[in-house]
């Protein structure tokens, strides 16, 4: 029995035998809480928490289950979208986006001496595979937004093609379609670029005020399966990507092997890093959540930005990020943040439109957060990231830049491993004219 008096909701309750009179007490409302609706359908059916990684979450990977996501929209929003988006989309708009990709976008996505050949292959792959075409058009829309509109004002065409590319990539991985490895690699590359460039929710927002500070990084963890396909040359002997990257692929892929058999966990690490991250000779991924990421970072720090494949190598950092490490980041673990800030500092030095703004934005946010925590033992190493993103650093005995110089001076310079570019001054013009003429 209940009544409402004075704006309060009250409940009249009785003992179990109802032999005595009841008593009136105020009704206690349940505390409101946010419940994410972005998890996969498999986790929802099993009533377990989903980590929301795409294209497959870790729960489904662990249990070998099919990971399927769906777009949750209200009935009214669904009707509105159906009115705006015909089944064949906008042929004229798609054609314009494709031409824009050939003329302006493709050369910004290929940081390689052989970018002309790589760009030509991307166009051919996109023409043959709808999966890759959706990612190409989405990347084209993102580039247009970044350069000609507001970088944080996402357009409908970019959203549509991104959704189609994501669902197509998920199907490709579920069916293990090795014959579509080039389309899968192309799609994963461009979707990763788009998620990196998208600052709509995080621009100048402190880490502590973000609901999930590194959700953009979590969306890239699904690329591990693509990298596995890329490394398995026996399965992809006819891959155009393998042939295009032949001059540099061996060195880039060799970078993934961070430890040699028989070497101690502390080999190649400065004593200061080993102390900060609690690394001893027997440390490993199972005993130290920072260890694998730290070793990958130490492999990347000697690589100077002037190398042609520096960006390609820097992006191998995401390959070692586990769901456990991502949880540390989203929990604002300061040591995990320190590692990521150094990686972002490397990206700040790269003149690449889809990495630069994100790298500067989040590197600044990490510097700000670590300074506010007051941890002086870590803050003294933040001078290198701060200088990269322009954060005003003040501190006693800065040590970060000194460590980076030690890595770059004491180890083999990556610039010795790669020949200089022999490409013409502007090969993009010839490529664009040839491709457009062939259409």
Residue 58 lies in a domain: yes
Same domain for 184 and 139: yes
End-to-end CA distance of the chain: 75
Same domain for 264 and 247: yes
Q: What is the pLDDT of residue 381?
A: 94
- Beta-bridged to residue 2, according to DSSP, are 11
Q: Is the pLDDT of residue 99 over 80?
A: yes
Q: Is the pLDDT of residue 207 over 90?
A: yes
Q: Indicate the pTM of the whole model.
A: 0.69
Distances (CA, A) of 136 to 176, 242, 320, 322, 375: 22, 19, 26, 28, 44
Beta strands 8-13 and 2-5: pairing type?
A: antiparallel
Cβ count near 75 (within 10 Å): 7
b/e per residue 118-135 (b: at least 16 CB within 10 A): bbbbbbebbeebebbbbb
163 by Cβ neighbours in 10 Å (0-12 / 13-18 / 19+) ranks as middle
Q: Is the pLDDT of residue 86 over 70?
A: no
pLDDT digits (tens, 9 = 90+) for 182-205: 888 889 888 888 888 888 788 889
Same domain for 403 and 280: yes
Range of the domain at 115: 75-198
| DSSP labels, 188-221 | HHHHHHHHHH--TTTTT--GGGSSSTTHHHHTTG
Same domain for 46 and 151: no
DSSP-derived 3-state class of residue 26: strand
Same domain for 259 and 121: no
Cβ count near 380 (within 10 Å): 16
* Structure-model confidence comparison of residues 270 and 357, the more confident one: 357
Which residues touch 231 (CB under 8 Å, ≥6 apart)? 253, 256
> What are the tokens at 409?
């001076």
Q: Is the pLDDT of residue 18 over 60?
A: no
Provide the domain count of the chain.
3
Same domain for 271 and 131: no
Percentage of residues of the chain with pLDDT beyond 90 = 20
Angle at 205 between CA 203 and CA 207, to 5 degrees: 125
pLDDT digits (tens, 9 = 90+) for 108-146: 876 554 556 677 788 888 888 999 999 999 999 999 888
Looking at mean pLDDT, say which of 217-221, 225-229, 298-302 comes out highest: 298-302
Residue 212 — φ and ψ, nearest 5°? Answer: -140, 90
Q: What is the pLDDT of residue 236?
A: 56
Same domain for 397 and 349: yes
Q: What is the pLDDT of residue 13?
A: 59
Residue 158 lies in a domain: yes
**171, 198, 225 — which closes off a domain?**
198
Q: Is the pLDDT of residue 219 over 80?
A: no
* Structure-model confidence comparison of residues 356 and 38, the more confident one: 356
**70, 86, 113 — which closes off a domain?**
70
Q: What is the strand order of the sheet 23-26 is part of?
A: 2-5, 8-13, 23-26
pLDDT digits (tens, 9 = 90+) for 382-412: 999 999 999 999 988 889 999 999 888 854 4
Q: What is the pLDDT of residue 325?
A: 93
Same domain for 381 and 284: yes
What is the mean pLDDT of the segment spanning 414-425?
38
Distance CA 190, CA 93 (A): 19
Percentage of residues of the chain with pLDDT beyond 70 = 65
Looking at mean pLDDT, say which of 73-87, 140-154, 193-207 comes out highest: 193-207
Q: How confident is the model at residue 92 (pLDDT cuts 50, 70, 90)?
A: low
């Amino acid at each position: 029995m209940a009544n409402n008096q004075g704006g309060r909701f009250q409940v009249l309750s009785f003992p179990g035998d109802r032999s005595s009179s009841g008593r009136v007490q105020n009704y206690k409302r349940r505390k409101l809480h946010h419940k994410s609706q972005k998890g996969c359908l498999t986790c929802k059916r099993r009533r377990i928490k989903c980590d929301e990684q795409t294209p497959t979450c870790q729960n489904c990977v662990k249990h070998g289950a099919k990971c399927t996501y769906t777009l949750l929209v209200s009935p009214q929003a669904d009707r509105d979208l159906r009115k705006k988006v015909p089944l064949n989309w906008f042929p004229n708009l798609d054609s314009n986006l494709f031409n824009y990709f050939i003329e302006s976008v493709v050369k910004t996505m290929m940081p390689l001496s052989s970018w002309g050949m790589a760009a030509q292959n991307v166009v051919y792959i996109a023409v043959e595979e709808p999966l890759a075409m959706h990612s190409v058009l989405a990347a084209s829309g993102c580039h247009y937004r970044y350069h000609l509109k507001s970088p944080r004002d996402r357009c409908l065409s970019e959203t549509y093609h991104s959704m189609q590319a994501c669902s197509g990539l998920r199907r490709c991985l579920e069916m293990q379609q090795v014959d579509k490895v080039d389309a899968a690699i192309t799609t994963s590359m461009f979707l990763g670029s788009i998620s990196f460039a998208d600052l709509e929710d995080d621009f100048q927002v402190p880490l502590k005020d973000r609901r999930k500070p590194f959700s953009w990084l979590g969306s890239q963890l699904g690329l591990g399966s693509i990298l596995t396909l890329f490394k398995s040359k026996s399965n992809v002997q006819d891959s155009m990507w393998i042939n295009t990257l032949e001059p540099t692929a061996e060195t880039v892929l060799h970078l993934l092997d961070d430890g040699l058999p028989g070497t101690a966990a502390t080999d190649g690490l400065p004593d200061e890093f080993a102390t900060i991250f609690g690394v001893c000779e027997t440390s490993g991924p199972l005993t130290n959540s920072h260890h694998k990421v730290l070793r990958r970072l130490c492999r990347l720090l000697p690589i100077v930005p002037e190398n042609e494949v520096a960006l390609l190598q820097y992006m191998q950092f995401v390959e070692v990020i586990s769901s456990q490490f991502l949880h540390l980041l989203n929990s604002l673990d300061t040591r995990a943040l320190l590692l990521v800030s150094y990686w972002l500092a490397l990206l700040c030095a790269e003149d690449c439109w889809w990495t630069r703004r994100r790298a500067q934005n989040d590197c600044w946010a990490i510097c700000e957060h670590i300074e506010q925590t007051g941890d002086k033992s870590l803050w003294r190493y933040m001078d290198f990231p701060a200088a990269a993103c322009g954060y005003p650093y003040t501190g006693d005995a800065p040590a970060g830049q000194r460590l980076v110089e030690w890595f770059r001076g004491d180890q083999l310079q990556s610039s010795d491993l790669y020949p200089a570019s022999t490409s013409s001054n502007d090969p993009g013009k010839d490529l664009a004219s040839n491709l457009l003429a062939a259409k």
